[in-house]
Amino acid sequence: MGSRRTRMEAVFFEYLSQTANDSVPPRFAEATAGQFIPFRVGRPLRRVGVNLEESWTRAVATAGSATAASRSRLIMGRLRSEPLARVSPDGKSLAYVYNDGRGAQRLRVVDTQTFAEQRSHRTTGQVSFDWLGDTLLIAQLDFTNRWTLRSDLWKWMPDGAWKRETTGQRLIERGWVAVSYRPWRSVTGRASRHCGRTRRRRGDQRSRLRMDGGW
């Protein structure tokens, strides 16, 4: 509710700046800062020449009559976690995390026109992914033994093959990687389009993550 209310207020003040005067938002902020109770809105708006009730009514009427600039379609609802949807570079496929809380979390790929499922694969509880051409690069948590938890990189090929690229690494999020050479040392790097640059500590070996997912 809090984020929704903030968005509504932002749209309202955008409407005021377009229809009344673009100086209304900064003058309202100045008037609000000078009052003892900062949560009141009507009084500082009146001080800058705006009637809250009338302006709000007009803003709601204008928003309700506006023609939608885009259209959307619900693909999957009632998910337990954010789907983190990613559209492939060619715009033909959509990958998203499917987690309804009733079974194992899965990564699904669907057609963007028909939304028919093309393929699906089980993932662990924490996963990040993105497209590299028609292939998905996936980082997810994985136990290397009973006591050690790491985050490794996989490739999900267009034919459905699931290929491990690293073992025992620390790829936490898409684009960031930390490679351990000793228990007390690590090197942190970031994949960039200019080549796999890495930042390293003195005495550590150099490591590169290529944009094709290789080392």
DSSP characters for 128-162?
A: EEEEETTEEEEEEEEESSSS-EEEEEEEE-TTS-E
Decide if 95 contacts 136 (C-beta within 8 A): yes
Task: Classify residue 57: in a domain, yes or no.
Answer: yes
SS3 128: strand
Same domain, 61 and 102: no
The predicted pLDDT at position 4 comes to 56
Same domain, 96 and 154: yes
- How far apart, in Å, are the Cα atoms of 179 and each of 64, 119, 142, 148, 205? 53, 31, 15, 14, 10
Same domain, 91 and 61: no
Over its C-alpha atoms, the chain yields an Rg (Å, rounded) of 25
Same domain, 92 and 58: no
Same domain, 124 and 190: yes
Task: Classify residue 185: in a domain, yes or no.
Answer: yes
Average pLDDT over the chain, rounded to an integer: 76
Same domain, 58 and 95: no
Task: Classify residue 128: in a domain, yes or no.
Answer: yes
Phi, psi torsion values for 170, nearest 5 degrees: -135, 55
DSSP β-ladder status, 176-182 and 185-190 = antiparallel
**Count: domains in the chain:** 2
Same domain, 27 and 57: yes
Task: Classify residue 213: in a domain, yes or no.
Answer: no
Highest mean pLDDT among 26-40, 133-147, 167-181: 133-147
Same domain, 142 and 191: yes
Q: Is the pLDDT of residue 152 over 70?
A: yes
Same domain, 46 and 143: no
Decide if 156 contacts 138 (C-beta within 8 A): yes
Structure confidence at residue 190 as a pLDDT band (50, 70, 90): very low
Same domain, 92 and 61: no
Which pLDDT tens digit goes with each residue over 48-61? 888 888 888 888 88
Same domain, 55 and 142: no
Structure confidence at residue 64 as a pLDDT band (50, 70, 90): low
Q: What range defines the domain where residue 18 resides?
A: 2-65
